[in-house]
A and B are shown apart, each in its own frame.
Chain A
Amino acid sequence: MTTSLKSGSRLYLARPALDDLIQTLRKQGYAVVGPRVVDGAISLQPIESAAQLPKGLSDQQDGGSYRVVEGEPELTFEYVVGPDGPKRYLFPANLRLFEFHVEAGNFVLDVGPPQVPKLAMLGVRPCELAALEVQDRVFGMDDPRMFRCESEPWYTQVRQEALLIAVNCTRPGGTCFCAAWETGPAASKGFDLALTELRDGFLVQVGSKRGAALLDELSVREPTQAELELAQIKLERARDRMGRHLDIAGLEELLDQAIEYPEWDEVANRCLSCGNCTMVCPTCFCCTVTDTTDLSATKAVARTRQWESCFTHQFTYTISGPERNTIRGRYRHWLRHKLCTWWEQFRCSGCVGCGRCITWCPVGIDLTEEVRRLRERSLAHGARGPALRKGEVDHGRASR
Chain B
Amino acid sequence: MAEPAAETRPEPICGMNTWMPVPARILSVREENFNTRTYTLHFVDEQIGKMYRFSPGQFNMLYVPGVGEAAISISSDPSRTETLDHTIRLVGSVTRAVERLEPNALVGLRGPFGRGWPLDAMEGKEVVIVAGGIGLAPLRPVVYWLLQNRDHYRRVVLLYGCRTPEDRVFAGELEQWDAGGSIHVLVTVDNATVGWAGPVGVVTSLLRRIKVNAERTIVLVCGPKVLNHVAAWNFLQLHVPPDHVYVSLERNMNCGFGRCGHCQYGAKFMCKDGPVFCFSEVADIFGKEEI
A294-325 Cβ-contact flags toward B at 8 Å (1 or 0)? 00011001010100101000111111100111
Taking a contact as CB atoms under 8 Å apart, the answer to whether A319 and B288 are in contact is no
Taking a contact as CB atoms under 8 Å apart, the answer to whether A345 and B267 are in contact is yes
Taking a contact as CB atoms under 8 Å apart, the answer to whether A316 and B16 are in contact is no
A295 to chain B: closest residue by CB: B66
A322 to chain B: closest residue by CB: B252
Interface residues of A in 222-275 (CB under 8 A from B): 256, 259-260
Number of contacting residues on A, CB 8 A? Answer: 71
Residue B152 at the chain A interface, CB threshold 8 Å = no
Q: How far is the CB of A154 from chain B (nearest CB, A)?
A: 9
Chain A residues whose C-beta falls within 8 Å of the C-beta of B286 in the assembled complex: 394, 398
Taking a contact as CB atoms under 8 Å apart, the answer to whether B283 and A388 are in contact is yes
Taking a contact as CB atoms under 8 Å apart, the answer to whether B288 and A259 are in contact is yes
Segment with Cβ contacts to B, from A72-80, A172-180, A281-289: A281-289
B66-109 Cβ-contact flags toward A at 8 Å (1 or 0)? 11100000000000000000000101100000000000001010
Taking a contact as CB atoms under 8 Å apart, the answer to whether B65 and A285 are in contact is no
Task: Given the known inter-chain contacts A105-B106, A106-B23, A318-B251, please indicate yes or no for A286 contacting B284, CB distance below 8 A.
Answer: no
Query: What CA separation (Å) do A82 and B19 show in the bound complex?
Result: 32
Segment with Cβ contacts to A, from B155-163, B174-182, B188-196, B229-237: B229-237
Chain B interface SS verdict (over half): loop
Query: What CA separation (Å) do A293 and B65 show in the bound complex?
Result: 9
Taking a contact as CB atoms under 8 Å apart, the answer to whether B260 and A316 are in contact is no
Query: What CA separation (Å) do A97 and B229 show in the bound complex?
Result: 39
Cβ-defined partner of B19 (8 Å) among A147, A305, A315: A305
Residue B9 at the chain A interface, CB threshold 8 Å = yes
Taking a contact as CB atoms under 8 Å apart, the answer to whether B252 and A398 are in contact is no
Q: How far is the CB of B13 from chain A (nearest CB, A)?
A: 11
Q: How far is the CB of B262 from chain A (nearest CB, A)?
A: 6
Taking a contact as CB atoms under 8 Å apart, the answer to whether B20 and A98 are in contact is yes
Q: How far is the CB of B105 from chain A (nearest CB, A)?
A: 10
Chain B residues whose C-beta falls within 8 Å of the C-beta of A317 in the assembled complex: 252
Query: What CA separation (Å) do A109 and B288 show in the bound complex?
Result: 44
Q: How far is the CB of B264 from chain A (nearest CB, A)?
A: 7
Q: How far is the CB of A349 from chain B (nearest CB, A)?
A: 13
Taking a contact as CB atoms under 8 Å apart, the answer to whether A398 and B19 are in contact is no
Residue A396 at the chain B interface, CB threshold 8 Å = yes
Chain B residues whose C-beta falls within 8 Å of the C-beta of A289 in the assembled complex: 19, 254-255, 260
Taking a contact as CB atoms under 8 Å apart, the answer to whether B236 and A153 are in contact is no
Segment with Cβ contacts to B, from A32-40, A58-66, A327-335, A353-361: A327-335
Query: What CA separation (Å) do A184 and B106 show in the bound complex?
Result: 53
Taking a contact as CB atoms under 8 Å apart, the answer to whether A308 and B260 are in contact is yes
Chain A residues whose C-beta falls within 8 Å of the C-beta of B2 in the assembled complex: none
Chain B residues whose C-beta falls within 8 Å of the C-beta of A392 in the assembled complex: 283-284
Cβ-defined partner of A287 (8 Å) among B106, B252, B261, B264: B261
From B18, B251, B262, residue with most partner A Cβ within 10 Å: B262
Give the tally of cross-chain contacts (CB within 8 A): 165
Chain B residues whose C-beta falls within 8 Å of the C-beta of A153 in the assembled complex: 17
B224 to chain A: closest residue by CB: A320
Residue A219 at the chain B interface, CB threshold 8 Å = no
Interface residues of B in 5-30 (CB under 8 A from A): 9, 11-12, 15-23, 25
Chain A residues whose C-beta falls within 8 Å of the C-beta of B89 in the assembled complex: 319
A310 to chain B: closest residue by CB: B261
Cβ-defined partner of B67 (8 Å) among A106, A287, A291: A291
A126-141 Cβ-contact flags toward B at 8 Å (1 or 0)? 0000000000000100
Instruction: Provide a sorted-by-A list of 15 A–B residue pairs whose CB atoms are within 8 angstroms.
Output: A107-B23, A150-B17, A150-B18, A260-B288, A285-B259, A290-B68, A298-B65, A301-B66, A314-B252, A315-B252, A317-B252, A319-B89, A391-B280, A396-B229, A399-B288
Chain B residues whose C-beta falls within 8 Å of the C-beta of A333 in the assembled complex: 264, 290-291
Taking a contact as CB atoms under 8 Å apart, the answer to whether A286 and B261 are in contact is yes
Taking a contact as CB atoms under 8 Å apart, the answer to whether B250 and A318 are in contact is yes
Taking a contact as CB atoms under 8 Å apart, the answer to whether A329 and B289 are in contact is yes
Q: How far is the CB of A324 from chain B (nearest CB, A)?
A: 4
Task: Given the known inter-chain contacts A288-B262, A310-B261, A388-B284, please indicate yes or no for A148 contacting B229, CB distance below 8 A.
Answer: no
